[in-house]
Amino acid sequence: MSQTTETGTRESWFWGPYSRLALIVFLITLVLDQAHKWWMLEIYGIADKGRVYINPFLDLVYVKNIGISYSLFDQESYSGQIMLAAMAAIATLALWLWVARSGGSKLLAVSLGLIMGGAIGNAIDRLVLGGVADFFSMHAFGYYWYVFNIADVAIVAGVIGLLYDSIVASRKDAAKPL
């Protein structure tokens, strides 16, 4: 299904004014995440090195997360990993429709592209590795934060972008006369 907009451009349910930007960000995020995971596991061999000290606040370590954020909903079985990957794929499709169907903004497209790239990057890990490969361990003064990867950073950055876009958009709407 497609429609013609006021500017004469054709848009469909699956392609909108910022879809190209979102797709580029999605692909860059996905490639960076998967390339980094491949390098860490296959070239650097992090799984055999244990904890690698980087600085007083950051170590490298290999952890396979079989759940979602903070290891919630742990799924040791492969069918559980397939279920979590399928949920990520469905969420990504919903986010893609959001990009395509909304008038949105460039920031919205970049933010959703980051979230989609991170979600699919982690979903690929689930299907290939049986869990998500995490490497970065941040800590300070004996307190260890969770271990994360580039996909997780992209998802968090995307959510921050969405929040910022939401606040800026609501302020602009509030400033408009009725």
- Catalytic annotation, residues: 134, 152
CB 115 within 8 A of CB 159: yes
Closest CA to 110 of 14, 41, 22: 22
Residue with tokens 């934060």: 145
At residue 60, the 3 state secondary structure works out as strand
Beta strand residue intervals within 32-167, DSSP E: 52-55, 58-65, 132-140, 143-148
Phi and psi for 91 in degrees, rounded to 5?
-65, -40
Please give the Cα distance from 29 to 92 (Å, whole number).
14
Helix axes 150-175, 106-129, angle to 10 degrees: 160
Q: Which residues pair with 137 in a beta bridge?
A: 59, 147
144-129-139 Cα angle (round to 5): 10
